[in-house]
Structure 1
Amino acid sequence: MKFKFNVLFVLILAFAKANSQQTVVIDTTEVESLDEIVVTGQYNPQSIKKSVYNVRVIKAEQIKQIAAVNVADLLNFNLNLNVTPSASTGRSTVSFFGLDARYFNVLIDNVPIVSDNGVGSNIDLTQINLDDVERIEIVEGSMGVQYGANAVSGVLNIITKKSDKNKWRINLSLQEETVSDEYAWFDEGRHVQGATISHNINDNWYASVGVTRNDFAGFFNNKKGRDYFENDGLRGYEWLPKEQITSNALLGYNNGKHKFFYKFEYFDETINFFNSTVRSNFNSQNSTINPSATDRIYKTSRIFNHLNGSGTFDSGLRYSVSLSYQEQKRRLNEFNYFILTRERTAEIDEVNQSGKFFYSKGTLGNLFKTDRFNAQVGYEITLQEGFDREAAGENILNPKTRNINDFAGFISSEIGLSDNLTVRPGIRFIYNSQFDKKAVYELTARQLFEKGFELRANVGTSYRVPDFTELYYYFVDANHDVQGNENLKPEEGLTTFLSLKKKTWFDNSLIRLENSVKLTYIDLSDRIELSIVNTNPLQYRYVNIDSYRFIGLTNTNSLKLKNWSTSLNATVFGISRELASEDNASDDYLYQFQLNASLNYRYPKWDTVFSLLVNYNGRQQDFRVTGSDSDGNSTFSKIETDAYSWLDASIRKSFLSDQLEATVGARNLFDITRVDTNYTSSGGAHNTATNSILLGYGRSFYLKLLYKLNF
C-alpha cells in the first residue's frame, strides 16, 4: 500500500507537469514587508509594532525551508519552547517557560483544539498538520483575559490560509525521509504525500480542499520488529510506527467589510504497539512452539468544525463570532497475536477515550473609539463531555461520562496615554460547573521610543484547571491505591513579562538589525501533585500542595543584509519548586542555559535558499525523591541531565519558473538519540544507559518535492 501511494504521487506530479500552463514568475527576492500583521489577542489585525503583546511569528517560508510536516517538527529551534517526544506513545508535547503543555494553549484560528488529553492544552503536536498554514503566532506571557484557562505561559495560534491571489492553485507534494539510517519503500522511513486545490470562485467567494498522508514506519534501532519471536526484549520498535491522514475543506466569503468562513477537518491516526514480551506456547506433545504476544493498535479520529464571521459595521464597531464543534475518539484494539501464523485471538476493540466539545466566542470591539481610547467586550462558552477508560480503574468496563461547562465574559480597553504610550487593562469573569466562580486580571502596556526602541510589559493572572486524570483517576488493588481528587481547585498563576526591543534600518531598509531583551517571571500556587496521604496502608492522592516559580532572561538578535539573514539568541532561566508537605524538599532555584542560531542565504541567480539551524540545551537539574530519613520523610537529591545540541540544514531550489520546488535537508546532524540523566552528568548524548532520556531517533535525511500549478 505504501509503495502504491508513492508511485501514485510521482505519476500525478508527472501528469501535472505535462499538462501545466505557463504561470507568472514571482520575484522571490523581493524585500519582505517590515510591518508584519498579527491577529492573536488584537482588537483588529495590526502590525507587530502596534501590538501591546510580545508576539513571535513563524512564517510559511520558514515552515517550507525545513520541510516541517507537523507542529512538532517546527518548534525545536525556538527559545523557551521545548518539544518533548515520547517514543512509547508517539505523542509530542510542548513546554513553555519550564511549564509543561498543560499551561500553554494551542489554537487554530483562535479556537482551542480538542484532543485525547484535553482542550486547548496538552495537545499532541504531531497531530497538527502544516499544509494549509499561513503563519503561526506565539504570544508570550499570561493570556487569561483573552483565552481563559490554561493560558498561564502563553498561547500558540495557528493561522490557516483563507485566500489566494490565483484563480486556481493546485499543490502536489511528495516527501521521503530516512529515520536515522533506516529507509525502504515499504517498512522503514517516513513517507508523506499531500494535495491541495483552491479556487477563487468569484471576487467574494473562495474554496479549498486538501489531504495529507504522513506515514512514519517506526524506528527499529536494535529492535527486531513485529515478526520477531524470541523472548529477549527485542521484539517491536523503539519508536512506534504510526500513520496519519488529515483532510480539510474551507469555504470563505469576503466583501471587504465582512468575512465569513467555514472550515472542516477530519484527522485519522493509527499507532501500532508490538509487545516485547513473547510467550512461547510450548506444546509438550509434539515439542513445537506457537509464540504469541499481546499487541495493541490505537486509532484516533478527530472531527473539527469551525464557523467564523467577522467584520466592521458602518458605525465602526468591529465584531467577531466563532462557533466550533469538535469530537475526538481514541479506540483501543487489543489482541493475542500469534507471530508465526499471524492469527489474532481474544480480541477487544472499544472506545478508550472520547471527547465532545462545543465552543463559541464572540467579541465586539472599537467601542467608544477615539484616537486615544478603544474597548472590547466578549464572551466565551465551552461545553465539554467525555470519558477516559484508562483512568476509570475498577469502572473500566463502564466509565462514567463527565461534563465540564465554562461560561465567561470579559472586557478590556486600550488607552493611549500619549502618542507612544498605550496601556490595556482587562478582566474576565468565569463561571465553571466544576469549580468556584473566579476572575482573572491583566494589565499590558507598550511604550515606543525614538530610534526604534519598543518597551512592552505584561502583568496578568491566569489559572490551570485539573485534567481528567487528576480529578477522576482510580487505580486500587492489593498493592496500589492511587486516586484522583474531585475536590481539587484550579492552580493560580501570576505572570510578569517585560520586553525591550530595538529595530535599526540601514541603507534604505536593505539592512535590518533587531535586538531584544526579555525578562519573565511566573509564580504558580496551589500546584497539583500526586502525594502520599497515608503511609499505612500506602495511599496516593492528587492534592493542591506545590508552588512553582520561574525567572528568565532572554536576549535575541537578528540581522538581515540583502540576501543574508542570521540570528543569535540566548536565554538563562531558573526554576524553583516548593513542596509544602515535604520537610526535606528544597526550593532553591535551578538554572539552565539555552542558545539557538540560524543562518540563511538566498542565491537569486540559482533561485536557491540555503539554511542552517542550531539549538543548544544546557545541563538541566531537578530534585527527585531518592530515599527516606529515619522519620520516614522523603529525601531529595539533585538529578542532572546532560547538555545536548540539535543541528538541521537544508537547501531549497525552484525549477520551471517556480512551478517545481525541491528541498533537501538533514535533521539532527549531531545524531542525538539519548541524553544521560544521572548524578554526575557523565557520559554523552549518545550513551544508551538505562538512566537516560530518549529524545530522538538519530540523524535523518529528507527530500521534498512540491509542484505548484497556478492559473
Structure 2
Amino acid sequence: MRCKLLILFFILLSSSALMADEHTHEAPAFKVQGIVTDEKGEGLPGASVWVKGTVVGAGTNAKGEFSFKLSSKNKCVLRVSFTGYEPQEREVTPGGDSLYRFVLTPSNNALNEVVITGTRTLKPLKDVPVLTRVISQEDIAQVNPLDLQSLLEYEMPGLQFGLAHGSGLPELKFQGSAGGYVLFMIDGERIAGEGSSNNIDYSLIDMDNVERIEIVKGPMSTLYGSQAMGGVVNIITKDANRPFTGNVSVRYGNNDESKYSLSLGTKQGRFSALTSLSYRKREAYALKDKEGQIEYSYYKDIYGRDSVVADTSKKGMSSVNGFEIWQANQKLSYTFNENFRISLNGTYYNNDVLEYVEQKEQDRFSNYSINPRVYYAINASHILDFSYVLENYEKRYVYTTSLPSKKVFGDFTNTVRLNYTGSIHEKHTLTAGIEVNTQKLQHYWFDNGSGKKFDAQTYVLYLQEDYKISNSFSMLAGVRSDCHSKYGFHASPKISLMYKYGVLTLRGGYGMGFRIPSLKELHSEYDMGGQGFFMIYGNEDLKPEISHQGTLSAEVTKGIFNGSVSGYYTRFFDEIALGLAPDGKNQQYYNADDATRTGVDVMAQFRFRNGLTLKGAYAYIDVHSEVDGHNMASDRPHSLTFTANYSKTFGKITLSAALNGRWMSSVETWYKNSAGGYVKNEYESRTFCSLNLGARFPRGFRFTAGIDNLFDFRDKNVTADQSVTLQRGIGFIGTLSVNIADLLKL
C-alpha cells in the first residue's frame, strides 16, 4: 500500500509539472549556444555545459558544439567541464546570435574534479572538508577490469577481497572492517541484497556503465548512514551527455571470460535517455596447492607448560565460482524548465553462479530496482530533491531436473528521502533531510529455510552545515539521527575541518558510527551444512555497535605533484561477532569485547606534461581481534598499489600503456581448534600486476590488449588462505569498443 501511494504521489508531481510546463512554454525561449575545444582547437565531444543554480544543462556533440534554451534573458553563469581538463565558468546573456567559445586546458591533477558524496552538493574535490578518494573514468580505463572487485584491488590499498566460507562468493575487508561495515551505493542510493555473508553482490556493478567512484573512508558522512562504519563507496553511473550517445564493446580473455555490452542514448532539448545492456560470463576454475600448509598448534599440558605440534597438511584443491550475468539499466530524465526536472532509473540483473563441479542445484541471484526522483530549484540558492527507491533482490535454487526453482532469499526494501540544500551568504551551505527505510527479509538462515520473514523500519533525520569560515578555513559539521523500530533513537555527530596554507591542505575530523544488528544477526536459526553438526543462532539481545573515529591528513599540491598522508584511529564498542554458544557446541552472534583499528594511508601522484602519469598508494592497518592474547585477524598489515600510465598522440591516433600493480605483505593469524589449542598460520606476501596497451583511432574505435597477473604469481596454499582472491596463471585480454556517435559524427 505504501508503495502505491508513493508512486501515485510521484505521478501527481509529474502531472503538476506538466501543467506548469504548458504555461512556461508560452513564454519566449532564449537560446544559448557555443563550442567547447581543447587548447589545439579540436572540439571536445561529451563535454558538460551546465547553468549554475538551475537544473538545465547540455552535452556537446562530435564537433564540441552545444545548444539549449532558457525561458529568461537574465544573465546566468555557465560551467563547462570535461574529464582531464580544467573546468571554466563564464557569465553569459541568453538570446541573440552570440556563439560562446570555451577553450579548456589539460589539468595538472584531478583536484578540480567535481564530487558529490561528502556533501550531497557538487563541489571541487580540493574544497571538500571530508577526505574523499575518486576513481575516475580514466583510472578505470587504465585497469580495464572485468568487475568491480578487480578495479578496487588495484586502486585501493588497505582493501582485500577473499572468498566467503560456504558460498565461495567475494567477501570484502576494508581498513580492517568487514564488508557489512561499508555502505555501497549507486548514484547515492544504497544497494540492497546479500551475495556472500554480510556483503553485497559485487557483480551487480556493470563496469561499462560506471562514470566514476567516490569513496569516503570511515563513519565521516552525515548524509549516507551512520551504519557505514567502515566507509561509503558511491558508484556514479553514466548519463546521456550528447545529442546522441552510443557505445558497443566486446571483451574476451583466455581464462574463459567474455563480455558484450551496448549502450544507446540521447540528450535532446529537455529530454534525455540512456539504455545499457550487458552480458558477462566467466567459467568456474580450480587451483591446487603448490605445497602443504604448515600449522603450529600450541597447547597447555597438565602442568601448564606450553607444547607445540607442527603439522603439514596434504596438498589440496580449491575452486572459484564463475558467473553468467545478464543486466539492463535504463535512465530517463525530463527538464520542464530551469527549476524543475524529474528522472526515472531502473535496473534488472540476473546472475547464474557457475560451479567447478556441477551440482543438482545452482544459485541464481536476481534483482530489479526502480528509482524515481524529482528535482526542484526554488531559486539559485535553494534546491529540493525527492527520491524513492524500490529494490527486490532474490536468491533461488535452480535445479538441473524438472523441479521448479525455489526461492531461499528475498530482500525487499523501500527508501524514501526528501533532501534540502540551501546556500546562505555564500559562506553557509545547509543540507537537511528526512529518510524512511523499510526492509522485509526472507533468509535461508531463518528457521532452516522454512520461508520465514522478518522486517524492520528506520526513520532518519540529518542536518549538515558546510561553513566556509574564510578562504583558508572551512568546517563541515552535522548530526544523523536514526530511529529504529526495535532499538529506538540514536544520534551520531560528525565534524570535519579543513585549513589551507599555500600548497598545503590540512584536514581533521571526528565521526561516530552506529550499526544496528542485521535481521540475520538477530533471528538466525540455521543447521550449518545440513548434517546436524552444529547450529548457528541469532541473538535478539544484541546491542548496536558504536564506533568513534578520529582522522588527520595533510595534502600537498604543487604543479604536477599531488600527495597526501592520512591517519585514523577507530574504537569499537559492543562489536558484533559470531562465536561459540554457551552450550559449547553451537555458534551464536554476540557482542564481543571492545576492538580497535589504526591505520595510515600515503598517496603520491605525478602528472607530467609529456603524457606520463605515476601514482602510488600505501596503507598500513593495525587490526586487533584477540582471544587469550592471540590475534585472530587475517588482515594484511601492509599493502601497496602503483600505476604508471603513458599516452601519446601521433596524428589522429593515440597510443597508451598502463602498468598497474599491487603488493600485500605476509600475515600471521590464529584460530582455536576443536581440541582447545591455538593454531598459527603464516600466509605469504603477494605481488601481482597487469599491463594494458591501448590504441584510440579516428571515428571512435578503441582497442586494448591486456595481460593480467603479468609475472604469473600463484598462491602456494590455495586451500588454507581464503581471506584473499586466489590468483591463477597469466591471463590475456582483448577489448574492442566503438563509440557509435563518433563513428557517425553525431
Structure 2 length-normalised TM: 0.76
Q: Is the 8 A contact 1:177 1:191 kept in 2?
A: yes
Residue identity matched to 1:518: S
Q: Is the 8 A contact 1:547 1:578 kept in 2?
A: no
Residue identity matched to 1:271: V
Larger mean Cα displacement after TM superposition, 233-242 or 422-431 = 233-242
Pick the aligned partner of 2:552 from 490, 498, 517: 498
Measured in 1, the distance between the counterparts of 2:629 and 2:446 equals 33
Q: Is the 8 A contact 1:523 1:548 kept in 2?
A: yes
Q: Which residue is equivalent to 2:604?
A: 557
Q: Is the 8 A contact 1:273 1:296 kept in 2?
A: no
CA deviations over 1:178-221 (Å, ceiling 9, x no partner): 21xxxxxxxxx111101110112x22211111100001122255
Measured in 1, the distance between the counterparts of 2:649 and 2:522 equals 58
Residue identity matched to 1:193: Y
Identify if the C-alpha distance between structure 1 residues 258 and 34 changes in structure 2 by more than 3 Å, giving closer, same or farther: farther
Residue identity matched to 1:434: K
1:464 and 2:515 equivalent?
yes
1:671 and 2:726 equivalent?
no
Measured in 2, the distance between the counterparts of 1:705 and 1:497 equals 43
Measured in 2, the distance between the counterparts of 1:308 and 1:491 equals 32
Q: Which residue is equivalent to 1:249?
A: 330
Residue identity matched to 1:209: T
Kindly state the Cα deviation for residue 413 of structure 1 after the two structures are TM-superposed: 1.1
Residue identity matched to 1:352: V
Q: Which residue is equivalent to 2:643?
A: 598
Q: Which residue is equivalent to 1:83?
A: 161
Q: Which residue is equivalent to 2:579?
A: 531
CA deviations over 1:502-551 (Å, ceiling 9, x no partner): 0001xxxxxx101111001111111112233434x634321112322111
Kindly state the Cα deviation for residue 85 of structure 1 after the two structures are TM-superposed: 4.4
Counterpart mapping for 1:218-297 below 5 A: 218-221=284-287, 238-254=319-335, 255-273=337-355, 275=357, 294-297=359-362
Kindly state the Cα deviation for residue 637 of structure 1 after the two structures are TM-superposed: 4.8
Residue identity matched to 1:646: F
1:172 and 2:248 equivalent?
yes
Measured in 2, the distance between the counterparts of 1:265 and 1:622 equals 41
Residue identity matched to 2:608: L
Identify if the C-alpha distance between structure 1 residues 88 and 650 changes in structure 2 by more than 3 Å, giving closer, same or farther: farther
Pick the aligned partner of 2:282 from 213, 216, 219: 216
Kindly state the Cα deviation for residue 250 of structure 1 after the two structures are TM-superposed: 0.8
Q: Which residue is equivalent to 2:695?
A: 653
Identify if the C-alpha distance between structure 1 residues 578 and 318 changes in structure 2 by more than 3 Å, giving closer, same or farther: farther
Q: Which residue is equivalent to 1:302?
A: 367
Q: Which residue is equivalent to 2:478?
A: 426
Q: Is the 8 A contact 2:574 2:591 kept in 1?
A: yes
Pick the aligned partner of 1:206 from 267, 272, 290: 272
State the SS of the aligned residue for 1:703. Answer: strand
Identify if the C-alpha distance between structure 1 residues 617 and 366 changes in structure 2 by more than 3 Å, giving closer, same or farther: same
CA deviations over 1:351-399 (Å, ceiling 9, x no partner): 01011110122221226x123333221111111112112x0244x3x32
Identify if the C-alpha distance between structure 1 residues 272 and 515 changes in structure 2 by more than 3 Å, giving closer, same or farther: closer
Measured in 2, the distance between the counterparts of 1:488 and 1:214 equals 40
Residue identity matched to 2:439: Q
Counterpart mapping for 1:136-175 below 5 A: 136-143=213-220, 145-165=222-242, 167-175=243-251
Larger mean Cα displacement after TM superposition, 476-485 or 301-310 = 476-485
State the SS of the aligned residue for 2:350. Answer: strand
Kindly state the Cα deviation for residue 93 of structure 1 after the two structures are TM-superposed: 3.6
Q: Is the 8 A contact 1:90 1:240 kept in 2?
A: yes
1:697 and 2:728 equivalent?
yes
State the SS of the aligned residue for 1:49. Answer: helix
Q: Which residue is equivalent to 1:12?
A: none
Measured in 1, the distance between the counterparts of 2:687 and 2:122 equals 37
Kindly state the Cα deviation for residue 415 of structure 1 after the two structures are TM-superposed: 2.5
Identify if the C-alpha distance between structure 1 residues 23 and 117 changes in structure 2 by more than 3 Å, giving closer, same or farther: closer
Kindly state the Cα deviation for residue 237 of structure 1 after the two structures are TM-superposed: 8.7
Measured in 2, the distance between the counterparts of 1:665 and 1:494 equals 43
Residue identity matched to 2:707: A
Residue identity matched to 1:380: E
Q: Which residue is equivalent to 2:203?
A: 126
Identify if the C-alpha distance between structure 1 residues 543 and 332 changes in structure 2 by more than 3 Å, giving closer, same or farther: same
Identify if the C-alpha distance between structure 1 residues 320 and 118 changes in structure 2 by more than 3 Å, giving closer, same or farther: farther
Kindly state the Cα deviation for residue 497 of structure 1 after the two structures are TM-superposed: 1.4
State the SS of the aligned residue for 2:558. Answer: strand
Kindly state the Cα deviation for residue 222 of structure 1 after the two structures are TM-superposed: 6.9
Kindly state the Cα deviation for residue 84 of structure 1 after the two structures are TM-superposed: 2.7
Q: Is the 8 A contact 1:607 1:653 kept in 2?
A: yes
Q: Which residue is equivalent to 2:420?
A: 364
Measured in 1, the distance between the counterparts of 2:161 and 2:719 equals 22
State the SS of the aligned residue for 1:74. Answer: helix
Pick the aligned partner of 1:35 from 108, 112, 125: 112
Q: Which residue is equivalent to 1:487?
A: 541
CA deviations over 1:209-253 (Å, ceiling 9, x no partner): 110000112225579xxxxxxxxx999992223200110111113
| Count of paired positions | 611
Measured in 1, the distance between the counterparts of 2:186 and 2:159 equals 18
Kindly state the Cα deviation for residue 687 of structure 1 after the two structures are TM-superposed: 4.5
Residue identity matched to 2:561: L
Structure 1 residue runs without a partner (length 5+) = 1-21, 180-188, 224-232, 277-293, 336-343, 506-511, 629-633, 675-685
Q: Which residue is equivalent to 1:521?
A: 569
State the SS of the aligned residue for 2:319. Answer: coil
Kindly state the Cα deviation for residue 621 of structure 1 after the two structures are TM-superposed: 2.9
CA RMSD in angstroms comes to 3.0
Residue identity matched to 1:607: T
Q: Is the 8 A contact 2:437 2:457 kept in 1?
A: yes
CA deviations over 1:146-193 (Å, ceiling 9, x no partner): 12243112101011122313x2122111100121xxxxxxxxx11110
Structure 2 residue runs without a partner (length 5+) = 1-60, 66-81, 86-104, 290-313
Kindly state the Cα deviation for residue 315 of structure 1 after the two structures are TM-superposed: 6.4
Measured in 1, the distance between the counterparts of 2:550 and 2:534 equals 41
1:47 and 2:95 equivalent?
no
Q: Is the 8 A contact 2:479 2:492 kept in 1?
A: yes
1:441 and 2:493 equivalent?
yes
Counterpart mapping for 1:543-554 below 5 A: 543-554=590-601
Measured in 2, the distance between the counterparts of 1:241 and 1:431 equals 40
Q: Which residue is equivalent to 1:105?
A: 183
Q: Is the 8 A contact 1:528 1:546 kept in 2?
A: no
Q: Is the 8 A contact 2:288 2:317 kept in 1?
A: no
Q: Percent identity?
A: 18
Q: Which residue is equivalent to 2:149?
A: 72
Q: Is the 8 A contact 2:284 2:355 kept in 1?
A: no
Identify if the C-alpha distance between structure 1 residues 314 and 700 changes in structure 2 by more than 3 Å, giving closer, same or farther: same
CA deviations over 1:254-304 (Å, ceiling 9, x no partner): 45544432111100111133658xxxxxxxxxxxxxxxxx52211111001
Measured in 1, the distance between the counterparts of 2:182 and 2:665 equals 23
1:383 and 2:431 equivalent?
no
State the SS of the aligned residue for 2:177. Answer: coil
State the SS of the aligned residue for 2:625. Answer: strand
Q: Which residue is equivalent to 2:43?
A: none
Identify if the C-alpha distance between structure 1 residues 91 and 453 changes in structure 2 by more than 3 Å, giving closer, same or farther: same
Residue identity matched to 2:368: I
